[in-house]
A and B are shown apart, each in its own frame.
Chain A
Amino acid sequence: AQSVTQPDIHITVSEGASLELRCNYSYGATPYLFWYVQSPGQGLQLLLKYFSGDTLVQGIKGFEAEFKRSQSSFNLRKPSVHWSDAAEYFCAVGTSGTYKYIFGTGTRLKVLA
């Protein structure tokens, strides 16, 4: 069955530290992968997406993600976290079935000053 796993429910990092949020997917075909961010009280905003080509994808706000087919992973990274990055992050896979997107359960990021 198609699924997306975000193993970390909560992550806390200090401002200026590097960040990596994990995402693993299960999908039979070539996946379309997305990372969304949800700030408190807001809707979801697209950070970046991967469809094909270069496996290292650049997004907004200084984020990047790397697609690793052998590991079925699409981890999100940022070299230096800012306090404004505190939010919940969702990984999603686009599917050709009914549901179009399957979302992970999210990772809530806390940034320490």
Chain B
Amino acid sequence: NAGVTQTPKFQVLKTGQSMTLQCAQDMNHEYMSWYRQDPGMGLRLIHYSVGAGITDQGEVPNGYNVSRSTTEDFPLRLLSAAPSQTSVYFCASSYSEGLDTEAFFGQGTRLTVV
């Protein structure tokens, strides 16, 4: 099983550029989410989705858009990159929204905005 796959692994953007971070899972999980990881701040939730066609904001949604057209895919879009968005981004999925379900994480995308 591939699990959760994120692409690209590394990316450098110029301020103002746009890009999409890809996330795909092959476990038929309903719940998917995006986190950013910054030094000393742990992981913070950006956006999440409880199923195809349903998305909602997390703790730090500003500057990011998401959509969920299929169960498998949950892309994260940066419309106009800013240096403050330099971070490591993780996509995660779990079987359900239930609190007792384990989250499976991708390997991360390291994004640098210059």
On A, residues with C-beta under 8 Å from B are: 4, 9, 32, 34, 36, 41-46, 49, 51, 90, 94-96, 98-101, 103-106
- Give chain B's interface residue range (CB within 8 Å of chain A): 20 to 34
What 8 pairs between A and B have smallest CB-CB spacing?
Answer: A43-B105, A94-B99, A103-B42, A44-B105, A103-B43, A32-B99, A105-B42, A43-B107
Cross-chain contact B58 with A98 (CB below 8 angstroms): yes
On B, residues with C-beta under 8 Å from A are: 4, 31, 33, 35, 40-45, 48, 56-59, 90, 92, 97, 99-100, 102-103, 105-108
Q: B59 to chain A: which residues have CB within 8 Å?
A: 99
Cross-chain contact B45 with A100 (CB below 8 angstroms): yes
Cross-chain contact A99 with B58 (CB below 8 angstroms): yes
Q: B35 to chain A: which residues have CB within 8 Å?
A: 103
Q: Which of B4, B99, B105 contacts A95 (CB 8 A)?
A: B99
Q: Which of B4, B33, B44, B106 contacts A100 (CB 8 A)?
A: B33
8 A–B pairs (Cβ distance < 8 Å), ordered by A: A41-B107, A42-B107, A43-B107, A51-B99, A99-B45, A100-B31, A100-B99, A105-B41
